[in-house]
Amino acid sequence: MTPRLIIISGSSGAGKSSALRLLEDEGYYCVDNLPPRMMADFAREVLQHRDYDRFKGIAVCIDARAMSPEREGETNSLQEILKTKDSLVIFLDAQPHILLKRFSETRRRHPLAGPNNSLPEAISRERRHLEFIAAQADLLIDTTDLSPRDLRDAITRRVIERRDGLSIMIESFAFKKGMPTDADFVFDARGLSNPYWEEPLRHLSGIDDPVKLFLESDPKTLTIYNRIKTFISETLPDFNQSDRSYLTIAIGCTGGQHRSVYVAERLHADVLKDYPATQLRHRHLITSEPS
């Protein structure tokens, strides 16, 4: 069940506005850049007043323009709202070099930029201002490799269409493109034999049967996979019984094409047996077919 109050925050350029527009399209009452000091009164108003019952929920975007680590009272007040039982905190972020690229391409001005600081300094300052929100977020979304459409799909799958219970995302990725910052657990599949060095397998992926057969012909594949599976199967019940609503499990290899995809696919199939809402995503898989 989707929480009544959704709080969106994160780095400028990471997709907050896109996420808020999507929620508005889905029937949420949305407010952009609400001053944090007004958050408590606003939450009481909209969550208790019958005029807002016609909306699917309330979505509020908070950015760093009105935030300052030095305002302890304001920070404490906002922290209480972040802990509200019927709320969901989503934090969007991306790698600094991607944020720099996005601002350069759009020629937008960073909200914390000024005559005495550069764009990289503004991005760094913003991160410091929002650290405490990121630390308390229910769902972290790394938009480094996401297109606007991918972000909309992620919000739709993990928030709007979310079922009750723990929401699990299993994803593969390429270490050469950087580790995902939204993962709760990261496993390294680079210890497996690499199909890339087999010419007939190079342009295939971990979804294809020849790659599966190659990996499964090596006994250490099963050994490594069973270690990962055992850890996850023993850990998930604890997460499911806690207050955590979201869990992201990332499997990485060098290129994100063969080994990590194979392990993620196999782990997804096993976890799906006990957690039917588990989702699968391949961050860096290059294929002409949908996965």
- 5-14, 127-136, 140-149: which range is least confident on average? 127-136
Indicate the pairing of strand 246-253 with strand 185-188. Answer: parallel
pTM of the model: 0.76
Both 106 and 174 in one domain: the answer is no
Mean pLDDT of the chain, nearest integer: 86
The CATH number that applies at residue 54 is 3.40.50.300
Residue 289 binned pLDDT confidence (cut-offs 50, 70, 90) = very low
Beta carbons within 8 Å of 238's beta carbon, 6+ residues apart: none
Both 128 and 171 in one domain: the answer is no
Q: Write down which residue in 132, 160, 188 finishes a domain.
A: 160
Q: Write down which residue in 160, 183, 200 finishes a domain.
A: 160
Both 101 and 81 in one domain: the answer is yes
Beta carbons within 8 Å of 80's beta carbon, 6+ residues apart: 40
Residue at 20 is within a domain: yes
Three-state SS sequence of the chain: CCCCEEEEEECCCCCHHHHHHHHHHCCEEEEECCCHHHHHHHHHHHHHCHHHCCCCEEEEECCHHHCCCCCHHHHHHHHHHHCCCCEEEEEEECCHHHHHHHHHHHCCCCCCCECCECHHHHHHHHHHHHHHHHHHCCEEEECCCCCHHHHHHHHHHHHHCCCCCCEEEEEEEEHHHCCCCCCCEEEECCCCCCHHHCHHHCCCCCCCHHHHHHHHCCHHHHHHHHHHHHHHHHHHHHHHHCCCCEEEEEEEECCCCCHHHHHHHHHHHHHCCCCCCCEEEECCCCCCCCC
Q: Write down which residue in 160, 188, 210 finishes a domain.
A: 160
Both 188 and 111 in one domain: the answer is no
pLDDT of residue 14: 93
Instruction: Tell me what the mean pLDDT of segment 269-285 comes to.
Output: 92
Both 59 and 156 in one domain: the answer is yes
> How far is the C-alpha of 7 from the C-alpha of 250, rounded, in Å?
25
pLDDT tens across 161-182, in order?
A: 876 778 899 999 999 998 888 8
Q: Domain count of the chain? A: 2
Both 102 and 172 in one domain: the answer is no
Both 136 and 245 in one domain: the answer is no
Both 151 and 171 in one domain: the answer is no
Residue at 288 is within a domain: no
Structural domain boundaries enclosing 210: 167-282
Instruction: Tell me what the mean pLDDT of segment 241-256 comes to.
Output: 89
> How far is the C-alpha of 175 from the C-alpha of 260, rounded, in Å?
10
Residue at 174 is within a domain: yes
Both 184 and 145 in one domain: the answer is no
